[in-house]
Structure 1
Amino acid sequence: MTCHDRRAVRRGRIRSAAALGCLLTLLATACTGGPRDAEEAGREQAAEGPIVVASGLDVTGSGSVRQQLIEEWNRLHAGSRTRQAKLVELPGGADQQRSQLLGALQSGSARYDVVNLDITWIPEFAEAGLISPLPEAGTGAAADDDRDFIREVHATTVWKGRSYARPFNTDVGLLYYRPDLLTKADIEADKQPTANWTWDQLYSSVKTLGLNPVRRDERAGWTTQLKQYEGLTVNTVEAFADAGVELADSEGRYSSGAGELKKGLDRLLDRIERGRVQPAALTSDETASLTDFVEGRAVFLRHWPYAYGALGGRMDPAAYAVNRLPGKAVLGGQNLAVTADSRRGDDARELITFLTSRESERCLLDAGFAATRASVYGSAAQPCWPRVAAALRPAGDSPEAAATGEGGLEEQGANARATYIRILGAALTEAVQRPRTPYYGAFTQVLQSHVHALLAAERPDTAEAADELDDALRDVFAGR
């Protein structure tokens, strides 16, 4: 056989082997003989791994109810290795988590199937094509299930007419107060906070108490979170909403002006001055403001629902109470979305449905979060998954408490707990949203910078501050 003949035979064998390889893989993938094969193989391998959920840290101190819900899902799907799920908790504050998620999804450096997004991030992630819109619920059981979510809470999942997520846990501003301190000042029970309490009544109580703090160690009328971070944005938007000021429409277009902004800034300063705010509030976050309240340096406190459980471990049950925040309260919380490049879209959506089910939402409420479903706040609510309830129950709780799904938040007794749930449910139905815009990160930084400078000024000029803020916000909402 000549060299030419041998080469022809080798070429024939190579062509036959290539043809056979293509034939064997034709049903699974296109046979190109190039990098696409490795990419496709990687996709198939990834589809066999766990469904990965990326989330921020659990702030409730509940023993990680999110992790417990993931474990319950895994138990229910123990017979399927490909249906198991894994929770990845991202470190740092909200801004750091947002940056991590944006970087990971834009670069493809982390394989997340589900992301737990702050409600203010939905427009940004949707506009960037990083999360997938959910299928339309249509009619029937799916539509009925969607209607069980509190209307304003569900609205946080929508951008430009499409829903991109399902509400996981929500949040709303509440008013905590010290009935023991009010009673000592002869403020009678019938004049203490009720469901329809107003800021003027709070100011009246502060005046009766004779409070006028100058130093941080002096007792103040109230405290909140006015440090230059998202807490300041929330407090500002609440004051603006109470003054009838809306910063943007549903499509993210700027809808205010200098005159309107001045009204909102005046309302915020009014709360600080007439409410005799704790001087430390200008540098306080959630942790610091809660500590000031616990240690008696403020009679009233604006905080989130998880503080109800936190106070149970730090104060005598008779020394604190909670009610709706006077005026408007801002929504917080997180929504679960499927990433646009997830190779497990169907499984991811099924997992999200489980994590936001009536039973799971009850678990979240028992753990200290605010639930997103209206039915959870009713008398016929579904109980928490039994094994999750048992895992969340602190040592020493009775088995009867776990059986009723009450978790570990019974420090004030069943009646107080029921009242708290009723108050929380009512507050959520009337809460307001922060501006809906894909430029939310830039918006909140600009608002914080201008407002904090105004609060720190010796002689704050709200007219001048409003003019400057108006110019800045016009640029921000236009994406400039």
Structure 2
Amino acid sequence: MTGWDRRGSRRARAAVALGCLLALASAACTGPEGTPPPADGGRAAEGPIVVASGLDVTGSGSVRQQLVEEWNRQHAGSPAKQAKLVELPGGADQQRSQLLGALQSGSARYDVVNLDITWIPEFAEAGLISPMPVDGTGTGTGTGSGSGSASEDDIDFIREVHATTVWKGRSYARPFNTDVGLLYYRPDLMAKADMKADKQPTAKWTWDHLYSSVKTLGVNPARPGDLAGWTTQLKDYEGLTVNTIEAFASVGVELTDGEGHYVSDAGELKKGLDELFDRVEDGRVPPGASTSDETASLTDFAEGRAVFLRHWPYAYKALGHLMEPDEYSVNRLPGKSVLGGQNLAVTADSPRAADARALITFLTSEKSESCLLDAGFAATRASSYTSTPAPCWPRVAAALRPAGDSPKAAGTGAPGEGAPKEQGAAAREAYIRTLGAVLGEAVQRPRTPYYGAFTQLLQSRVHGLLAAGRPDTAEAAATLDDALRDVFAGR
């Protein structure tokens, strides 16, 4: 696996009869299957604290890397506390497979893993990550965990976001950066259609309002490049799962309870599928929407091929590089929005568990969360969305300044050449308020240790239905119901 740090062995076991094969003068040796991991300090804690994470999607100068470097500066006198970020290539599904393989086999030495929120039950159930201790120091289970006491620091995490760290009553991680669906729109294209201000999105907008606006715009895309009413991510990947769950949740369809047991039925699934197909019927989305991911849908929106866009918070900052400030705006997504994001967990056999937890506490601190929000991620703390959030670490903030964004000339308010054309302070404040409110009301995808199998099933079934046009949703729901019963039972 590219980028793995192979220095040091995962387990040192005198009982390993056959020893380990060496590769490039470095080996990863594992003990007999089922052997319990050593306690913290049970083997030599050599080298840095290694953090495994997916790629930074914000294009912000890698705020995660900058935060790790800030930790290293603050611990410059302690070589054992230095940290190293390893970024895993590929999409979410590939990263999950790489991490599972690495932690199960011991082929990579990671102390901290940055996990997609949907992976927490699977990694916890498999014993690959350690529960966070309940000690009142900010590393306890936190609010909504179902057990233990919450420190004041834990309580600052947005309740729904913190709940993504919990499995079977215990917290296994801390929220690092979160995500949630938002609605972006093109006021310039709406103005060309003489749409009044009261037609623009408000906090009470519904999908019927959006459909009405699409009708007023008079769009009916038939060919690639035609103007569409809205666009989203309908490719056969995790984005399609998210869009499907948002449609299901908007009409009250839940697939599982808090412990991953299937609670739906064919009738409920039909209701959810009908809602999804209402959203993406012909004449509303681009002809190529079924192959669209985050990048393609953002490009269609920025280049004027769609008036409305469902996307994640990082798109707000990205649009500053692609569009004029008055060409886009953002508000709540009609209906329910699904949570995304990543949580930081300590691997079960890390010999540096105490230092790893201290690093996680730093990376999820108020100042660090402010840095993540400034870079384009959604912060996980409620205090980040107040009028007086903690400032980002100064050296991190300086490192994240876009190339060419020199200090503004006195009285001009103009950024240096090369800086993105971001919206003004009032628009950004409105965006931050909206983001904070939506996060507090967002819903989770199914909580299950079988999430990988679930999402692959849902993606393939729904994508096939999209290709068929408007299918018989009653028949589709019945077959999907049978398949979901099996997948959530681990069959």
TM normalised by structure 2 equals 0.87
CA distance in 2 between counterparts of 1:371 and 1:409 reads 21
**How far has the Cα of 1:399 moved from its partner?**
3.9
**How far has the Cα of 1:31 moved from its partner?**
11
CA distance in 1 between counterparts of 2:313 and 2:455 reads 22
**Corresponding residue for 1:206?**
214
**How far has the Cα of 1:295 moved from its partner?**
1.1
- Is 1:416 the counterpart of 2:424 in the alignment? no
Bigger-Rg structure (1/2): 1
8 Å contact 2:122–2:451 — kept in the other structure?
Answer: yes
Report which of the two has the higher share of helix: 1
> Which residue among 335, 348, 352 is the counterpart of 1:344?
352
* CA distances 1:396-421 after superposition (whole Å, capped 9, x unpaired): 335479xxxx9x77711111111111
Q: How does 1:241-280 map to 2 (within 5 A)?
A: 241-273=249-281, 276-280=284-288
**Corresponding residue for 1:167?**
175
**Corresponding residue for 1:439?**
450
**How far has the Cα of 1:46 moved from its partner?**
4.6
> Which residue among 312, 329, 341 is the counterpart of 1:333?
341
C-alpha change, 1:361 and 1:256, in structure 2 (3 Å) is same
8 Å contact 1:90–1:97 — kept in the other structure?
Answer: yes
CA distance in 1 between counterparts of 2:56 and 2:408 reads 26
Structure 2 unaligned segments of length 5 or more: list them: 1-11, 20-28, 32-37, 140-149, 410-414
CA distance in 2 between counterparts of 1:367 and 1:261 reads 38
Letter in 2 for 1:318: D
Q: How does 1:92-171 map to 2 (within 5 A)?
A: 92-138=90-136, 143-171=151-179
Q: How does 1:217-296 map to 2 (within 5 A)?
A: 217-273=225-281, 276-296=284-304
CA distance in 2 between counterparts of 1:31 and 1:60 reads 46
> Runs of 4 or more off by more than 6 Å in structure 1?
29-32, 139-142
Identity of aligned residues (%): 79
Letter in 2 for 1:445: Q
CA distance in 1 between counterparts of 2:332 and 2:165 reads 24
**How far has the Cα of 1:101 moved from its partner?**
0.3
8 Å contact 2:102–2:108 — kept in the other structure?
Answer: yes
**Corresponding residue for 1:307?**
315
**Corresponding residue for 1:452?**
463
**How far has the Cα of 1:190 moved from its partner?**
2.4
**Corresponding residue for 1:179?**
187
* CA distances 1:244-277 after superposition (whole Å, capped 9, x unpaired): 0000000000000000000000000111128711
> Which residue among 381, 385, 397 is the counterpart of 1:373?
381
CA distance in 1 between counterparts of 2:79 and 2:115 reads 27
- Is 1:462 the counterpart of 2:468 in the alignment? no
CA distance in 2 between counterparts of 1:375 and 1:409 reads 27
* CA distances 1:72-121 after superposition (whole Å, capped 9, x unpaired): 00000000010100000000000110001000000011110000000000
SS at match of 2:243: helix
RMSD of aligned residue pairs (Cα, Å) = 2.4
* CA distances 1:12-50 after superposition (whole Å, capped 9, x unpaired): xxxxxxxxxxxxxxxxx9999x999x999xx78751310
> Which residue among 362, 370, 374 is the counterpart of 1:362?
370
8 Å contact 1:237–1:434 — kept in the other structure?
Answer: yes
Letter in 2 for 1:262: K
C-alpha change, 1:86 and 1:272, in structure 2 (3 Å) is same
CA distance in 1 between counterparts of 2:469 and 2:456 reads 22
| Length, aligned pairs only | 444
Letter in 2 for 1:443: F
**Corresponding residue for 2:398?**
390
Letter in 1 for 2:426: N
Structure 1 unaligned segments of length 5 or more: list them: 1-28
SS at match of 1:47: coil
